[in-house]
A and B are shown apart, each in its own frame.
Chain A
Amino acid sequence: MLSNLVAGGDRLLVLALILPVASLMLAFVLGGRHAERIALATLPIGLAVAVAIAAAVLHGDAPLHTDLGGWAPPLGVALRADGLSAIMLLTTAVVMVAVGLFARADFQVPPGTTESRAPFAFWTLLLALWAALNAVFLGEDLFNLYVALELLTFAAIPLVCLDGRAQTLAAALRYLVFALLGSVLYLLGAALLYGAYGTLDIGQLAARIGGDPLEPAALIAAALMTAGLLAKTALFPVHLWLPPAHAGAPAAASALLSALAVKASFFLILRIWFDVMPELLAQMAAQVLAALGAAAILFGGVLALRQARLKMLIAYSTIAQIGYLFLIFPLVASPETAPLAELRNAPGAWTGGALQLVSHACAKAAMFMAAGLIAASLGHDRIRDLGGIGRALPMTLFAFGIAGMSLMGLPPSGGFMAKWLLLLAAMQCGQWWWMLVILAGGLLTGAYLYRVLATALSTQGPSPVLVKPVDRSREWVVLGLALISVLLGLVPLSSFSLIQIGRDVSGIGVGLP
């Protein structure tokens, strides 16, 4: 059974790419109530495909690879799924399923109409976002990835302003133009790489670059692409678009955007730095990225602490959590990590970074959805006035709390394991200053969570008046996702070998000046 999966791995990749596209077109044509039905029917199939890909990668202990149209790169375009891609595909599928189930109550065609705007847009865009994310995680060709990035932008922007308020329109427009600026910089870099090496295939580029000094075009290309992708990832200080966009969108959309959309561009930064030009990792530029990440952790944390609204708080928390991802750049590369790689068979920073990606995705989606439930039942999300919500919505608040626990890095959550591994790696590289940042970030996270939870658990004052009863099944969805983010920390570390497949991280940077 598993061997069959490995043998048919290339078709699985194609399936992962075209399934959401085909569903999207079908939903677009049929419209109305069919859009929701088609999207919901796609969820389990997409999840199964993602699971199958992960199983095939794990069982075959090698990346899956396929040349589209039978044309091998550099002329053709290839798809590839290594361990990290498989994990991202799986995370995407899990979050999609949860958000899809959660959103049913919010995006139903009202009775008496055949089709209405918000449900039609939401369900088609959900599939669109899925297609875009899968294209990003599977792409092996830099231009193909550009198209995938644009797919992502086009799917994400309308989600931001789904409710049509002027504020969200402004947020969406700002997001769009800034994201487009990022895409153009990325495209410019890709063009220059083609000019220097005559191929856009990541594997071939890496082979042609080899150990040689980089072409001048490649250097500026790396800088341009990284900067462009940073703009789309909303790393401090180019995060201007994120708080209003993520906080203004409907809860289900915020969950998708915060948990998944920003991770796609980060994933491409990883691809460029680790797969195309690993030489970069041994340079000052890696320290620059980590320094920005550190600034994001501290700055985002303080700003989250000072927000008046729950969804804004969560949005700033995303800015802080993105910062952690950038700490891995100087920590994976340094030669001192080599002994670690031999010992543990898993460079800590790399595994920690991947764990952070996944656990933040689950936790943040759960938090946004929990905030959505709270806002829907209270009619507002002012943190000051959340008093007593712990009694009214105990399960929602519990889910919010344990998701927050994972963000804060309390054991035994996935966030704790991620931070533990990053701390170990920082110490092993002799770069202890990142440890202080990680810990300070944890303190700030704890502080802003305390603000929410202490208010919500308060017994003073009258019980909150619920304008709308909360749907128990939606609470279960949120709780399930939050539990996943916590349980990730209980998975024995040895089973994270999937993250390593297809990528020889341990060798990167060793022996470089």
Chain B
Amino acid sequence: MNFNLLFALALATPVALLLACLWRPARERMLSLLVLAPLPALAVALVALLDADAMPALMLDPGRQIGLSLDQPGAILLGVAALLWSAAGAYAATYLRGKPHGGRFAIFWLLTLTGSLGVFVAADLLSFYLTFALVSLAAWGLVAHDDTPGARRAGVIYLLLAVVGEVLLLLAFVLLDVASPGASLAIDTVVATLPESPWLAATLALLIAGFGLKAGLAPLHVWLPVAHPAAPMPASAVLSGVIVKAGIIGLIRFLPWDAGLDWWGAALTGIGLVTAFYAVAMGIVQSNPKTVLAYSTASQMGLVAAILGMGLAVGDREAVTAGTVYAAHHLLAKGALFLAVGVFAATARRRLWPVLVPAAILALGFAGLPPTGGFLAKLAAKPVLGSGLVGLLASLAAAGSTLLMIHFLYRAAASASPDPGARAAAGLVWPWWLLFLAALLLPWTLAPLAGLSPWSVMTDRSLLWSGLWPILAGGVLALALQRWGARLPRVPEGDLLALFTGSPRWANAVGEMLERTETWLRQWPVAGLSLLILTLVLWLPMLTRP
């Protein structure tokens, strides 16, 4: 089969399923087809990764370079994302069976899926913006699906921040396009001229803010801990696994890696490290296991940002590979853990161990437990982060991750089903096991890309020790948390959002004031006077023209 045709199918399949949803019988059965929708994308990614020369590209408007293309980071993320989407789709078919509004869920799922796969392959500003907007906005339907007051509030907060992110990015893209001399809108081209742009600082700030918001970097991470607990389980898995990665691929695609912007790199690293620690601090005082996982996602994305920042500072493209591998591991492992939460809730306490042990392995993988995939991800990042202060802070953050994940395991175990005979449905269990294995093993297949040899890694004791000590430290901290954790203050989900509780009242006051203005303006004499004033205002400047 022609590879470009397969490439086109990767996006066309979910779109075709979407169109099929216009037909009611198809819509009602769509949930069980969700597992198939991402498979062509998975195939594309596999072929592209196996044969590095075969990167596909589809140009719709060659003059302006509008179209789709794939590169190595895109292929890695596309592949693992498609895997998670597929597994989560299968999970959703069981999870939502018999519940109302499955058709609506499927529509939003497919919309989000289309956008989410699209961001990894979009080659130009407009396609990227389109797919990014699609994944951001359509995910609202997943967040607010349950339509409870809590879900509606989460939906509003999610959408508000998503739209703010869109606006920041739109501004950034306009600046990019204006600064680029040619007609081409290809991301490579416009980013290549970014370092000479007169608006370099504004563009970078907007890009980091816009993508950082999606990736969950502090202080714009607040939507994560609100949205994830509200969404149904499979939706949380893709939100935390894939959708935040749209921010990461954005940073990868749009930052000028060869320019050596040391100040900006330092800033991004700083933001990332602050997020990594801050999210741990906020996460350990949460009780809902999904909220804890959400904070863990923010913390992990902080580390990815730190990796990318180090690369940006010195103009090192290795950081992109390291960040991609790290993100790919997180994508699979975090998706798997969210699915596990659903399995916990459906499993009796005494049957919990077969789920809890693999979940613990994955959870500690975020801290770099050898020989999980997380260990490899950490190793890939090690040369980029260096052995100085940043490297040390990253290791400490791993200790923090351990603490947070042990807290998660406690909370998750506590959420087991009270029914002693409860047993999770097979349709929930096998996707979770699939993802568990993928998260454990797949990163090792990526090791050669990051310049690592699995064998030599596993036989180097100093490397093993460097992966183990943060976990031990985190374990000690976890014991401390068990002992004294009750004394910590409770923080509401979405920590900083509490500062804005008064804002609806303010907005309302402004709205009322404008309404009164409108009543006044629409009085006949006032409108007549306005027209006369308008005439004179238009006329007088013309007269005074030199």
Contacts and interface: CB of A to CB of B under 8 A. Distances in A.
A–B in direct contact per CB < 8 Å: yes
Interface of A: 174, 178, 181-182, 185, 214, 219-220, 222-224, 226-227, 230-231, 237-240, 243, 280, 283-285, 288-289, 292, 299, 302-303, 305-306, 343-344, 410-412, 420, 423-424, 427-428, 435, 439, 442-443, 446, 450, 454, 457-460, 492-494, 513
B522 A439 contact: no
Contact of A446 (B163, B183, B522, B542): B163
Contact of A423 (B174, B531, B534): B174
Which interface residue of B163, B175, B542 has the most chain A CB atoms within 10 A?
A: B542
B511 interface: yes
Contacts of B182: 343
Contact of B514 (A231, A240, A292, A299): A299
The 6 closest A-B CB pairs, nearest first, are A223-B539, A284-B541, A411-B130, A227-B535, A240-B522, A240-B527
B434 interface: no
B174 A420 contact: yes
Nearest to B513: A302
Interface in B73-115: 100-101, 104
Contacts of A240: 521-524, 527
Contacts of B152: 454
B167 A222 contact: no
Interface in B515-530: 515, 517-518, 521-524, 527-528, 530
B133 to A, nearest CB: 6
Interface residues of B, number: 54
A214 B539 CA distance: 12
16 contacts: A185-B531, A219-B542, A222-B539, A230-B534, A238-B527, A240-B527, A243-B522, A283-B545, A285-B542, A299-B517, A306-B515, A344-B183, A420-B174, A424-B178, A494-B63, A513-B546
A327 to B, nearest CB: 14
Nearest to A413: B130
A410 B133 contact: yes
Contact of A428 (B129, B178, B183): B178
Contact of A237 (B133, B159, B530, B546): B530
Which one of B63, B167, B183, B517 has the greatest number of beta carbons of chain A within 10 Å? B167
B155 interface: yes
Given A299-B518, A306-B511, A494-B63, A227 B163 contact: no
Contacts of B539: 219-220, 222-224
A285 B133 contact: no
A439 B170 CA distance: 9
B177 A185 contact: no
Nearest to A216: B543
B63 A174 contact: no
A423 to B, nearest CB: 4
A494 B66 CA distance: 13
Contacts of A459: 100-101, 147
B543 A412 contact: no
Contact of A412 (B63, B130, B527, B535): B130
A322 to B, nearest CB: 15
A37 to B, nearest CB: 33
B245 to A, nearest CB: 20
A420 B167 CA distance: 11
Nearest to B101: A459
Contacts of B101: 459
Highest count of chain B CB atoms <10 Å: which of A411, A420, A423? A411
A305 B531 contact: no
Given A181-B528, A288-B538, A303-B514, 7 more contacts: A220-B539, A240-B522, A288-B541, A305-B511, A412-B130, A427-B174, A454-B152
A505 to B, nearest CB: 18
A504 to B, nearest CB: 21
B460 interface: no
Nearest to B540: A223
A375 B261 CA distance: 57
A179 B396 CA distance: 71
A442 B169 CA distance: 13
Contact of A227 (B178, B522, B523, B531): B531
A442 B170 CA distance: 11
Contacts, number: 124
B53 interface: no
A280 B545 CA distance: 10
A493 B182 CA distance: 15
With most chain B CB atoms within 10 A of its CB, the pick from A428, A450, A458 is: A450
Contacts of B511: 302, 305-306
Max chain A Cβ within 10 angstroms of own Cβ: one of B144, B156, B521, B536: B521
Interface of B: 61, 63-64, 100-101, 104, 126, 129-130, 133, 137, 144, 147, 152, 155-156, 159, 163-164, 167, 170-171, 174-175, 177-178, 181-183, 510-511, 514-515, 517-518, 521-524, 527-528, 530-531, 534-539, 541-543, 545-546
Contact of A302 (B175, B514, B538, B543): B514
Contact of A460 (B147, B531, B538): B147
A439 B167 CA distance: 6
A238 B526 CA distance: 9
Contact of B518 (A283, A303, A460): A303
B542 to A, nearest CB: 4
A226 B534 CA distance: 9
Given A306-B515, A454-B155, A222 B542 contact: yes
A289 B534 CA distance: 9
A174 B171 CA distance: 41
Nearest to B545: A283
Nearest to B182: A343
Contacts of A299: 514, 517-518
B159 A303 contact: no
A460 B148 CA distance: 8
Contacts of B156: 450, 454
Given A237-B527, A306-B515, A344-B183, A224 B541 contact: no
Contacts of B164: 443
Nearest to A230: B534
B61 A492 contact: yes
Contacts of A222: 538-539, 542
A424 B190 CA distance: 14
Contacts of B183: 343-344
Contacts of B126: 411-412, 420
Contacts of A439: 167, 170-171
Most chain B beta carbons < 10 A, residue from A240, A284, A303: A240
Nearest to A227: B535
A412 to B, nearest CB: 5
B161 to A, nearest CB: 12
Contacts of A280: 542
A435 B61 CA distance: 26
A411 B181 CA distance: 23
Contacts of B545: 283
Contacts of A410: 133, 137
Contacts of A302: 510-511, 514
A181 B104 contact: no
A230 B546 CA distance: 26
A400 to B, nearest CB: 16
Contacts of A178: 527
Contact of B537 (A174, A243, A288): A288
Contacts of A219: 539, 542-543
Contacts of A424: 174, 177-178
Contacts of A457: 104
A283 B541 contact: yes
A98 B151 CA distance: 38
A153 B524 CA distance: 19
B130 to A, nearest CB: 4
A227 B524 contact: no
A240 B167 CA distance: 31
A344 B63 CA distance: 11
A286 to B, nearest CB: 9
A417 B527 CA distance: 34
